[in-house]
Chains A and B, each alone.
Chain A
Amino acid sequence: MLIKKPNDIPSSEITSKSSYLNRRRFMTGALATGAAVAGGLYLRHHDAAMGVPGSVEAHNASADTNGQKLSGIIKSQYSTTEKPTSFKDITNYNNYYEFSTDKYEPAGLAKNFRTRPWTVSIDGMVKKPRAMDIDSILKIAPPEERIYRHRCVEGWSMVIPWVGIPLSAMIKLADPLPGAKFVAFETVKSPDQMPNQKRDVLQWPYVEGLRMDEAMHPLAILAVGLYDEVLPNVDGAPLRLVVPWKYGFKGIKAIVKLKFVDKMPPTTWNIMASNEYGFYSNVNPNVDHPRWSQKKERRIGDSLLAPKRDTLMFNGYADQVASLYNGMDLRKDF
Chain B
Amino acid sequence: MITIPDKALRFAVKPTVFLACLVPIATLGWKVYQQNLGANPVDVITRSTGKWTLTFLLITLAITPVRKVLSLPWLIKFRRMLGLFAFFYGSLHLMTYVWLDKFFDVHAMLQDIAKRKFITAGMTAWACMLPLAITSTTGWIRRLGGKRWQKLHRLIYLSATAGVVHFIWLVKADLRRPLTYGAILALLLAYRLTTWLLGRVKSRQPAPA
Bound complex: CA A154 to CA B115 (Å): 17
Kindly supply a per-residue 1/0 record for chain B positions 168-180, scoring 1 wherever the CB is within 8 Å of any chain A CB and 0 otherwise.
0110111000000
Within 8 A of B (CB), among A79-114: 88-89, 92-93, 97, 101, 103-104
Bound complex: CA A291 to CA B172 (Å): 10
Interface membership of B41, Cβ < 8 A: yes
How many of B's residues come within 8 Å of A, CB to CB?
26
B99 and chain A: residue at smallest CB distance: A305
Contact B111 A33 (CB under 8 A): no
Contact A304 B32 (CB under 8 A): yes
Residues of A within 8 A of B35 (CB): 30, 33-34
Bound complex: CA A104 to CA B48 (Å): 14
Interface membership of A272, Cβ < 8 A: yes
Residues of B within 8 A of A101 (CB): 172-174
B93 CB to closest chain A CB (Å) equals 16
Q: Which of A45-53, A173-181, A292-300 is near enough to bind chain B? A: A292-300
- Additional A-B contact list (15), CB under 8 Å, known A101-B173, A156-B40: A38-B36, A92-B39, A101-B172, A103-B39, A201-B173, A272-B173, A291-B117, A291-B170, A292-B112, A293-B108, A298-B40, A300-B40, A304-B42, A305-B100, A308-B103
Ordered nearest first, which 9 A-B pairs have the shortest CB separation? Answer: A93-B39, A89-B39, A101-B174, A30-B35, A201-B174, A300-B39, A304-B41, A307-B103, A34-B35
Q: Name A residues whose Cβ lies closer than 8 Å to a Cβ of B.
A: 30, 33-34, 37-38, 88-89, 92-93, 97, 101, 103-104, 154, 156, 199, 201-202, 272, 288, 291-293, 295, 298, 300-301, 304-305, 307-308
13 A-B residue pairs with Cβ-Cβ distance under 8 Å, sorted by A, are A34-B35, A101-B174, A103-B39, A156-B43, A202-B173, A272-B173, A291-B118, A291-B169, A300-B39, A304-B37, A304-B41, A304-B100, A305-B100
